[in-house]
Amino acid sequence: MTTGEIDFKDGLRVWFKEVHVGLLLGLTMASLALLLAMMMFGNALLALTVSIAIFSIILTANCVGALLPLMAKRLALDPTLLSAPMISTTVDAEGLIIYFSIAKVILGL
């Protein structure tokens, strides 16, 4: 964005690339989390809950991280100042909601 190579109109292209990266990273991390949780706790439902949550959180974080700076620039705000605190706060809050929602469904909490 600083060099002018990416603008708001490129948002869909950027989003698709980030979704692709998020899928790959999410699948990798979810697989590792599944194995680790199974080894540590021996509970398949807990391991499934953790792995699905990690996959979902990573995918969401990539999407938010890609689109928030573009939206900030579109609103004439400085994307560099807004991005770090806004992305961290948004992803953390969404991560908790995602994790507890998945735990509620799978574990019946």
Tell me the per-residue pLDDT of 39-86, one tens digit each, with 9 for 90 and over.
999 999 999 999 999 999 999 988 888 888 778 777 888 777 776 787
Digit-coded pLDDT (tens) for 6-34: 666 777 887 888 889 999 999 999 999 99
Q: Decide: 15 and 55 in contact? Cβ < 8 Å.
A: no
Q: Which pLDDT does position 45 carry in this prediction?
A: 95
Question: Which residues, including other chains, have CB under 8 Å from residue 50's CB and lie 6 or more apart?
Answer: 33, 34, 37
Q: Which pLDDT does position 97 carry in this prediction?
A: 96
pTM value?
A: 0.83
Q: Which pLDDT does position 78 carry in this prediction?
A: 77
CA gap 13, 98 in Å, rounded: 25
Q: Is the pLDDT confidence value at 104 over 80? A: yes
Q: Which pLDDT does position 16 carry in this prediction?
A: 87
Task: Tell me the three-class secondary structure of 62-84, residue by residue.
Answer: HHHHHHHHHHHHHCCCCHHHHHH
